[in-house]
């Protein structure tokens, strides 16, 4: 990728400072650390769980976090209305969120990229049909379409991944098609066609690797989108089902307590907010770094 | 190059019309292009931007942009019409019999693959060589195109090489499957002048060794005259004059050819004069003037030139001009 990057920038290297100016901000260390720790915590999950995330007693219900009056180190972030440890629930929730985000974006990228490659390379009627479908998908607000699909498929982690894929593949399809239209006119594709390689080989070997950079940027920006969509569905009761502590679901279940136990709402909200923010910051950085011209991905 | 093989045509283009549609309109960018190329012969196609010279090459290769298509005409390659055969049938012909060198070596190599992959892929695919054999042949090829430190270049990515090196690699790629026809579309335009001369010398040497026929496309009559056996001059989607290089340069018959020659500054001239540029712009395809398309820029245009388009008259010398009976150098005085 460094090679493609250098070529876009012009192979003659400019002074480092100039290049930094061109590429914008520095590497977002904080966002990166936060993301990595969420992923690690999500993966390690059960191994480091301080307490049971799924059961509690009413005796321990609605305890406050440790830094507030009446809090204790046994429940560092307090407990919810059923006495379950909030920290433990956030950790299990991190796992669900990470799985949905990565799987959702991955499947969506594969579906969208395949459609975009076919539409861009084959052109003609196939292109027209695929792109009109894509336009139609993009024209419907994400949440509305997601709600309709989620209502039809029912709750569940796999269903949420399906719904986020169905709602976001169009972004990838449109991006990839545009890139393919550009790349397929380049001489090295013509050279490969003259060399008599079959279309499949040209697509996979010469075109696909060259759309990888914008694809990566798009994927990192879509992670934040996917997390919000999944949490919104859960919040509305159409996403991840009880008793799984998905962050959006935690928000929904605790909103009745917002006046006298605000930490129930604040904790998952902070987790969710920081997660999405980190993904977007890293996505922005990737875009600036790899191609200052990719502004349309915003 | 025996006289016998020289006279056998490798490719014959017969009244080729290629059309392009843009903004709801369709017009011809090639208007009946005909020429032939014998085995081992080097044919130059010269013209300004938009004259149809690249379209001719792309039509032969069937690499036309989406908006363009061949409307009619035949392209016989070794006697087989390749203007209308299916992509499946065309693939082996393209892969093993035709090679192409492009204008810009920046974009003619895939930036993400090492030179080794790009050179060996075709040989492994079409000639069934093992990777080791293909690699050995790739090294040989790089040495033949005079790339220094060939082994190191094989392990490089395109961006690590200079423009001249990349173009040599591109030539090696085009020649890797021993094509019978090499199409070079302005292969030196993006290079430094010193590198240009080297690349031309290289092409000359390599194609002579293997008896490869060459279609050399350029806007520079100078380069073409240096390298080619025969030259076709194109204007507004037609060939307006076609002759052997010597005849064309010494006694141009078409006023356009004459103007092109005059537009080349003569570095050896005793007396330094301003070189003569051709006034005006070449016509846009789809907005051709009535009559001869060159008449608005032609110093010798008369009534008939504005009314009827002269057709290619093939009596020894092929020229499309109403006044082609006279060499235009003399005709300028006699007729004008």
Contact B177, B142 (CB under 8 A): no
- Substitution target from B94, B111, B183 for chain A, most A beta carbons within 10 A: B111
H helix runs in chain B, sequence order: 3-6, 53-61, 87-97, 115-127, 131-144, 150-154, 163-175, 193-210, 221-227, 245-250, 255-262, 303-307, 328-334
pLDDT tens-digit series, residues B26-41: 888 999 899 989 988 9
- Substitution target from A188, A189, A190, A205 for chain B, most B beta carbons within 10 A: A188
pLDDT band at B335 (very low <50, low <70, confident <90, very high): very low
Domains of chain A: 53-297 (1.10.3720.10)
Fold of B3-235: Rossmann fold (3.40.50)
Residue B327 has a pLDDT of 46
> Predicted ipTM?
0.77
Q: Do A188 and B121 touch (CB under 8 A)?
A: no
Judged against a pLDDT cut of 50, whether residue B304 lies above it is answered with: yes
Judged against a pLDDT cut of 70, whether residue B330 lies above it is answered with: no
pLDDT tens-digit series, residues A192-209: 888 888 888 899 989 999
**Sheet of strand B68-77: strand arrangement:** B25-38, B9-22, B68-77, B80-81
Residue B263 has a pLDDT of 79
Q: Taking the CA atoms of B124, B129, B131 and B134 in sequence, report the sign of the dihedral they define.
A: negative
**Phi, psi torsion values for A48, nearest 5 degrees:** -110, 10
| Domain chopping of chain B, boundaries | 3-235, 254-278+289-334
Judged against a pLDDT cut of 80, whether residue A291 lies above it is answered with: no
Judged against a pLDDT cut of 60, whether residue A23 lies above it is answered with: no
* Residue in A3, A11, A191 nearest the CB of B108: A191
Q: Do A195 and B111 touch (CB under 8 A)?
A: no
pLDDT tens-digit series, residues A71-103: 788 888 888 888 888 898 999 999 899 999 999
Q: Taking the CA atoms of B225, B229, B230 and B236 in sequence, report the sign of the dihedral they define.
A: negative
Question: Rounded to whole angstroms, how far apart are CA atoms B94 and A67?
Answer: 75
Q: What is the mean pLDDT of residues B78-92?
A: 85
pTM: 0.77
Residues 118-137, chain A, touching B (beta carbon < 8 A): 123
| Residue A123 falls in which region: left (phi positive, over 0), alpha (psi -120 to 50) or beta | left
Judged against a pLDDT cut of 60, whether residue B179 lies above it is answered with: yes
Collapse the DSSP code of B331 into the 3-class scheme (helix H, G, I; strand E, B; otherwise coil) and give the result: helix
Report the range of poorest mean pLDDT among A126-130, A131-135, B87-91, B180-184.
B87-91
Percent of chain B residues past pLDDT 70, beyond the cut: 90
Q: Do B112 and A190 touch (CB under 8 A)?
A: no
Residue B2 has a pLDDT of 45
Decide which of A245 and B287 is more confident. A245
Task: Name the DSSP class of B311.
Answer: P
3-state secondary structure string across chain A: CHHHHHHHHCCCCCCHHHHHHHHCCCCCHHHHHHHHHHHHHHHHHHHHCCCCCCCCCHHHCCCCCCCCCCCCCCCCCCECCCCCEHHHHHHHHHHHHHHHHHHHHHHHHHHHHHHHHHHHHHCHHHHHHHHHHHHHHHHCCHHHHHHHHHHHHCCCHHHHHHHHHHHHHHHHHHHHHHHHHHHCCCHHHHHHHHCCCCHHHHHHHHHHHHHHHHHHHHHHHHHHHHHHHHHHHHHCCCCCCCCCCCHHHHHHHHHHHCCCCCHHHHHHHHHHHHHHHHHHHHHHHHHHHHCCCHHHHC
Q: What is the mean pLDDT of residues B47-76?
A: 88
Which two tokens mark B133?
């054999």
Task: Name the DSSP class of B265.
Answer: -
pLDDT band at A3 (very low <50, low <70, confident <90, very high): very low
Residue B272 has a pLDDT of 62
Q: Give the residue on B whose Cα is nearest the Cα of A184.
A: B65
* Residue in A187, A194, A197 nearest the CB of B107: A187
Q: Do A196 and B93 touch (CB under 8 A)?
A: yes
Residue B301 has a pLDDT of 79
pLDDT tens-digit series, residues A136-164: 999 999 999 999 999 999 888 999 999 99
Q: Do A193 and B170 touch (CB under 8 A)?
A: no
Judged against a pLDDT cut of 50, whether residue A298 lies above it is answered with: no
């Amino acid at each position: 990728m460094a090679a493609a990057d250098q070529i876009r920038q012009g192979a003659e290297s400019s002074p480092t400072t100039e290049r930094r100016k061109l590429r914008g901000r520095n590497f977002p260390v904080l966002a990166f650390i936060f993301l990595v720790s969420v992923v690690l915590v999500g993966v390690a999950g059960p191994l480091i769980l301080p307490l049971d995330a799924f059961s509690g007693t009413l005796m321990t219900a609605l305890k406050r976090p440790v830094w507030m009056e009446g809090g204790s180190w046994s429940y560092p972030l307090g407990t919810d209305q059923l006495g379950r440890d909030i920290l433990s629930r956030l950790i299990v929730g991190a796992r669900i969120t990470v799985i949905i985000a990565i799987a959702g974006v991955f499947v969506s990228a594969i579906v969208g990229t395949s459609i975009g490659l076919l539409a861009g390379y084959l052109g003609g009627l196939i292109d027209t049909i695929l792109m009109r479908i894509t336009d139609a998908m993009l024209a419907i607000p994400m949440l509305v379409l997601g709600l309709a699909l989620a209502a039809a498929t029912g709750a569940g982690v796999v269903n949420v991944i399906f719904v986020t894929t169905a709602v976001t593949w169009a972004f990838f399809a449109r991006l990839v098609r545009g890139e393919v239209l550009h790349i397929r006119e380049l001489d090295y594709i013509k050279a490969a066609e003259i060399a008599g390689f079959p279309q499949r080989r040209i697509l996979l070997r010469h075109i696909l690797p060259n759309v990888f950079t914008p694809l990566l940027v798009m994927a990192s920006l879509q992670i934040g989108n996917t997390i919000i969509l999944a949490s919104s569905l859960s919040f509305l009761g159409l996403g991840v089902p009880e008793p799984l502590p998905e962050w959006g679901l935690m928000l929904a279940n605790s909103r009745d307590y917002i006046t006298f136990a605000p930490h129930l709402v604040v904790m998952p909200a902070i987790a969710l907010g920081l997660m999405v923010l980190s993904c977007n910051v890293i996505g922005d950085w990737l875009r600036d770094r790899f191609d200052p011209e990719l502004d349309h991905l915003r | 190059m025996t006289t016998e093989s020289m006279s056998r045509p490798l490719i014959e283009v017969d009244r080729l019309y290629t059309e392009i549609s843009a903004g709801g309109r369709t017009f011809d960018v090639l208007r009946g292009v005909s020429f032939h190329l014998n085995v081992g012969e080097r044919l130059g196609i010269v013209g300004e931007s938009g004259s149809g010279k690249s379209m001719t090459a792309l039509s032969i290769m069937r690499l036309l942009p989406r908006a363009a298509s061949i409307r009619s005409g035949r392209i016989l390659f070794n006697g087989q019409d390749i203007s209308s055969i299916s992509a499946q049938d065309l693939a082996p012909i393209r892969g093993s019999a035709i090679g192409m060198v492009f204008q810009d070596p920046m974009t003619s190599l895939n930036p993400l693959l090492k030179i080794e992959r790009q050179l060996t892929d075709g040989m492994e695919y079409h000639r069934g060589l093992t990777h080791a054999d293909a690699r050995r042949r790739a090294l040989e090829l790089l040495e033949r195109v005079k790339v220094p430190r060939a082994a190191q270049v094989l392990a490089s990515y395109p961006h690590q090489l200079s423009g001249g090196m990349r173009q040599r690699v591109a030539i090696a790629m085009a020649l890797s499957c021993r094509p019978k026809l090499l199409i070079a579309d302005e292969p030196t335009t993006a290079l430094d002048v010193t590198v240009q001369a080297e690349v031309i010398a290289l092409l000359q040497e390599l194609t002579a060794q293997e008896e490869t026929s060459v279609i050399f496309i350029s806007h520079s009559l100078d380069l073409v005259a240096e390298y080619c056996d025969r030259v076709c001059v194109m204007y507004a989607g037609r060939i307006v004059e076609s002759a052997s290089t010597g005849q064309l340069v010494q006694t141009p018959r078409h006023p356009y050819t004459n103007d092109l020659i005059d537009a080349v500054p003569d570095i050896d001239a005793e007396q330094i004069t301003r070189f003569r540029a051709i006034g005006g712009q070449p016509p846009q395809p789809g907005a051709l003037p009535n009559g001869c398309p060159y008449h608005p820029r032609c110093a010798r245009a008369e009534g008939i030139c504005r009314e009827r388009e002269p057709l290619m008259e093939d009596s020894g010398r092929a020229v499309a001009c109403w006044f082609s009976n006279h060499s235009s150098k003399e005709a300028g005085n006699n007729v004008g």
